[in-house]
Amino acid sequence: MSGLTRRAALASAGAALCLPRLAIAQGARPAITVAVQKISNSNSLEMLREQSNVGGRIFYSYAEPLIDTDWTGDLSLRPGLATSWRRLDAQRLELTLREGVRFHDGRPMTAEDVVHSLGPRMWGAEGSPRNPPPEAVAVARRSFPGFERVEIVDARTVRFVNRTPDVTLEGKLSRSLATIHSAAAYEAVADWPQWSRRPVGTGPYRVVEFRPDHHLILEAFDDYWGGRPPLSRIRFLEVPEVAARIAMLQSGEADFACDIPPDQIAEVERSPRHEVVGGLIGNHRMLVFDKHHAALADPLVRRALTHAIDREAIVQALWSGRTRVPPGLQFEFFGDMLVRDWTVPKYDLAEARRLLKQSGYRGEPIPYRVLNNYYTAQTSTAQILVEGWREAGVNVRIEMRENWSQITEPGPDRAIRDWSNGASFGDPVSQTPPNFGRQGSAWVGGEWRNEEFGDLAAVLENATDAAQRRRAWARMLEIAEREDPAWTVLHQTANFTGKRRDIRWKPAQAFVMDFRAGNWGA
């Protein structure tokens, strides 16, 4: 195989020796192996802690929200653990719970479980040793900034109550962190870390074994409300190198290989037994700026950086034209909230040089923190970016890091970093205020703050007038992408998965992998 390194070959052989393949038996429910770049960034299966691209891939098999998303269709909201919902007013949403739902511990789902999942599990309870860590509570706080309580109306009805108006409550309840879990199982564990590695949900597969940085094994839950799961077992195996994942697929050691770069699609499809599926998803690759770094304090320097990026060259050279440069940090499925005439900063080296001269920048080194291909083509993208900045006159230096804690760690050397932002439902409130608003990670982490932007993020969260919300979002884009750059979008993310050609399986418009009965055939 072209590009297969000795290390990759050894990794593939080691996986084969240490973990025998869960082969597909004729006439029986198959067991499959999915080779992934990484399983979890936080060594946790609890989505309150694992809000990441890699976590988004696995959760859908074992945990479910009240309101589901049509991931393999039009991304619309649809019934999940709630069969229906209705608005009482701008602050209250009433949901009817599905009957016949059982948790993996055998207990039936009740209204009390919903209250617990969206209450103590998210926010903690006084004196409980099972309280989530502060970083998990912070995720809940920025995802549900107006949360007040969940009420039980009757045995099959719950009412979500917000302190403030919020026209996007339905979408927020569809997010992965809002999944419903067994209250009894939660209260039975000694502490939150124990829970987070073996959560008890309602999905078609239950957690059997999780070895962080190595593998996750899920087993069919035959009491699943949606019908008998089509697979007996799913094994997610962590295989960091692309070449090793492809080798495992081609040898039959894996049935799926995730995160295939475009330049390796032909290599996978050279085998008549395999194919690559996937395409654009609801996620954008981007850069984030720390405006408190000495060289980036002047917005003119950050603006210059945005104009010295040849995004189309990256799309063509590294993605073979299989992705695109989007209209900023937004998606078409935002519908009426989409700012339709918006574009990313134009590639213009002359303008970049003019801005740098105006700023008084004198070539001070600017660190750029990068992980080794956590994102597809991440390292090669960084190299292209640095070359473009050098041509404009900016001295940017790549600094490789081993994990996300090192990427986000505050300090005088934090200036530029890689990131991606995904929208889990069709409104900009799904991604931007939780990341860049006053309770957002960039704001709280001290990377970027802008008072007008913070005020507008609150309008986006709480206003009920559609025109007012659209104006707020348009102005937020002007501030964060043009005037006082907080981020700059590189391209829309495309997600490609190699698989056995005889398996009928449809990829999602997200990192989510759906192995329910309606999305499987072999």
Kindly give the confidence (pLDDT) of every residue in the chain, 522 residues in length, as a single tens digit, with 9 standing for 90 and above: 333 333 333 343 344 334 434 444 445 899 999 999 999 999 999 999 999 999 999 999 999 999 999 999 989 999 999 999 999 999 999 999 999 999 999 999 999 999 999 999 999 999 899 999 999 999 999 999 999 999 999 999 999 999 999 999 999 999 999 999 999 999 999 999 999 999 999 999 999 999 999 999 999 999 999 999 999 999 999 999 999 999 999 999 999 999 999 999 999 999 999 999 999 999 999 999 999 999 999 999 999 999 999 999 999 999 999 999 999 999 999 999 999 999 999 999 999 999 999 999 999 999 999 999 999 999 999 999 999 999 999 999 999 999 999 999 999 999 999 999 999 999 999 999 999 999 999 999 999 999 999 999 999 999 999 999 999 999 999 999 999 999 999 999 999 999 999 999 999 999 999 999 999 986
- Which residue carries 């960039």 as its tokens? 442
Q: Is 323 within 8 Å of 494 (Cβ atoms)? A: yes
Claim: this prediction has a pTM higher than 0.75: yes
Count of Cβ atoms closer than 10 Å to residue 135 Cβ:
12
CA-only gyration radius of the chain, Å? 23
- Which residue carries 């697929």 as its tokens? 249
Predicted pLDDT of residue 521: 87
Question: Which is nearest to 282 in space by CA: 424, 481, 171, 76?
Answer: 424
Predicted pLDDT of residue 27: 57
Hey, do 31-251 and 283-494 end up sharing a CATH topology, with the first three levels equal?
A: no
Predicted pLDDT of residue 13: 39
Of 2.40.128.520, 3.40.30.10, 3.40.50.720, 3.40.190.10, the CATH number of 31-251 is 3.40.190.10
| Ranges of each domain in the chain | 31-251, 283-494
- Which residue carries 């990427």 as its tokens? 407
Count of Cβ atoms closer than 10 Å to residue 294 Cβ:
10
- Which residue carries 């696995």 as its tokens? 58
The CATH architecture one would assign to domain 283-494 is: Roll (3.10)
DSSP 237-302: EE---HHHHHHHHHHTS-SEE----GGGHHHHHTSTTEEEEEEEEEEEEEEEE-TTSTTTSSHHHH
DSSP 394-437: --EEEEEESSHHHHH--STT--EEEEEEE-SSSSGGGTHHHHHS
